[in-house]
Amino acid sequence: KLTVRDLLQAKGKRKLVLTTAFDAWTARAAEAAGVDMILAWGSNLEHSKWVVDTVRSGAPNTLIGSGLPSTGAYSSEAEALRLAGELRSAGTDIIYCSGLVPEKFAALARQKYPCAGHVGYLPVQNTWFGGPRAVGKTWDEAVQVYNDTVALHKAGCIAVEMECVPARVAAEITKRVNILTFSMGSGPDCDGQFLFSSDLLGTNMGHYPRHSITYTRMLDSAT
């Protein structure tokens, strides 16, 4: 099982691989394939704890990240700490949150919670972006993505998911920061590649993003 220290030492040496899992079968397959980190979450805290426990049963030797539930996580540092503690007790290795401000990440980092933030396009703030789109095509936006990454690093985050950032911008930021960058549609030059298992396995019932890579279509084989 990799440790957070192992992840940090991989920067610049090899590419990390991340995917999602919400059941033991998918988690077992991800671990067998050599995935470095699995993200698992539910609709609320209790559901997330159940999902993490289920995923852990399928992938006992893989790092698991889980997001703080949006309800409560943004209200106060104390509540964010409580939720993080619950998730760690359930078996979460890395606390992941989209849209949490650096100040609350700093409170978690002071208590030695390994945390991963989110920059570029943030689905939780979809309406402010005018819908899903690339973020960083203009000079101002590219600088903002860089500044957001630096702010999360200063707050104590070990990594950021970089979503829908132009590849050249993501590559340049990755070179300039010590924090790990995980590409979600942000090109091949980040420290890691993150793809949803539903896209990888062809079980996505909705829109396949342009950056997704589908290796098999399990829904087709099941019919």
Residues identified as active-site: 163
Query: Which among 135, 175, 182 is positioned nearest to 159, based on CA atoms?
Result: 182
Q: Amino acid identity of 48?
A: S
Q: Is residue 161 a contact partner of residue 116, using CB atoms and an 8 Å limit?
A: yes
Around Cβ 33, how many Cβ atoms within 10 Å?
11
Rounded to an integer, what distance in angstroms lies between the CA atom of residue 184 and that of residue 162?
A: 6
* Residue 187, both tokens: 């090109």
Q: Which residue has the tokens 């829904």?
A: 219
Residues β-bridged to residue 155? none
Rounded to an integer, what distance in angstroms lies between the CA atom of residue 188 and that of residue 145?
A: 17
Rounded to an integer, what distance in angstroms lies between the CA atom of residue 138 and that of residue 131?
A: 17
Q: Are strands 16-20 and 192-194 parallel, antiparallel or unpaired?
A: parallel
Q: Are strands 115-120 and 159-163 parallel, antiparallel or unpaired?
A: parallel
Rounded to the nearest angstrom, the gap between the alpha carbon of residue 122 and the centroid of all alpha carbons in its chain is 11
